């Protein structure tokens, strides 16, 4: 009988480790399917993970990224907010939240998101560009130009900033659209907060606060 009790106790002690192993395996599978472009599958996997472990910010972020690729911007917005509640110190999450707000034409919210991203990663020129773009979209032409002038002093060969500045000066619609995270690197999230996202300029389609609006 004593032996049976000992075996039962050992089984109970190994349950948390087994559960964590399963979560890790599911995360790997979710990353892999996201990397391969199976966004519905990756979304379903990360949805299951947050159901089992709701405080895992990385799963919320990757579920948001899956939804972004599926053009479910409301879902992306909600999942980004949850990820930021859990981990407010990673620029990539603010970046995705900012781009989602641009897609929804919520430029004020995008400005706040990119301001947070710049605070965390001030050397990422795409964050600066996207914020300047949003400032222009809300009609704050002068602040947008001031920021673009700063960017061009810092990054003299930044052609996107040069084009946006010329468009603003000419009073025409911007030809250069915001940068966005459109590629997924499976190694990027090991861990998430050590390197910036692969960014790419896209040419099609289209004030700092303490809390996200």
CB count in 10 Å sphere of residue 54: 12
Residue (of 1, 55, 51) closest to 26 by Cα position: 51
- Binned at pLDDT 50, 70 and 90, residue 190 comes out as very low
Digit-coded pLDDT (tens) for 112-144: 999 999 999 999 999 999 999 999 999 999 999
What average pLDDT score do residues 144-173 get?
Answer: 95
Which pLDDT belongs to residue 209?
Answer: 37
pLDDT tens track for 60-100 = 999 999 999 999 999 999 999 999 999 999 999 999 999 99
The candidate with the shortest Cα–Cα distance to 108, out of 212, 14, 12, 182, is 212
**Which pair of tokens denotes residue 120?**
């965390």
Give the pLDDT band of residue 179 (cuts 50, 70, 90).
confident
Q: How far apart are CA 11 and CA 13, in angstroms?
A: 5
Average per-residue pLDDT for the chain: 82
- Strand, helix or coil for residue 54: coil
**pTM: predicted TM-score of the whole model, two decimal places:** 0.79
Q: How far is CA 64 from CA 13, 71, 81, 100, in A?
A: 34, 10, 9, 10
Average pLDDT value for residue range 43-66: 97
User: What is 88-213's CATH number, 3.40.570.10, 3.40.140.10, 1.25.40.10, 1.10.3720.10?
Assistant: 1.25.40.10
């Amino acid at each position: 009988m004593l032996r049976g009790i000992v075996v039962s106790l050992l089984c109970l002690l190994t349950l948390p480790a087994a559960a964590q192993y399963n979560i890790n395996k599911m995360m790997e599978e979710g990353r892999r399917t996201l990397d391969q472009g199976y966004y519905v599958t990756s979304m379903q996997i990360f949805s299951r993970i947050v159901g089992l472990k709701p405080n895992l910010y990385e799963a919320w972020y990757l579920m948001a990224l899956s939804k972004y690729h599926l053009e479910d911007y409301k879902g992306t917005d909600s999942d980004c907010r949850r990820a930021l509640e859990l981990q407010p110190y990673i620029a990539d999450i603010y970046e995705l939240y900012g781009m989602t707000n641009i897609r929804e034409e919520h430029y004020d919210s995008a400005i706040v998101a990119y301001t947070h991203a710049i605070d965390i990663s001030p050397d990422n020129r795409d964050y600066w560009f996207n914020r300047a773009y949003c400032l222009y979209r809300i009609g704050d032409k002068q602040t947008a130009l001031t920021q673009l002038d700063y960017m061009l002093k810092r990054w003299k060969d930044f052609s996107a900033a040069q084009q946006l500045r010329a468009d603003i000066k000419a009073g025409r619609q911007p030809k250069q659209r915001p940068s966005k995270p459109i590629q997924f690197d499976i190694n990027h999230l090991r861990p998430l907060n050590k390197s910036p996202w692969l960014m790419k300029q896209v040419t099609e389609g289209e004030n700092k606060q303490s809390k996200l609006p």
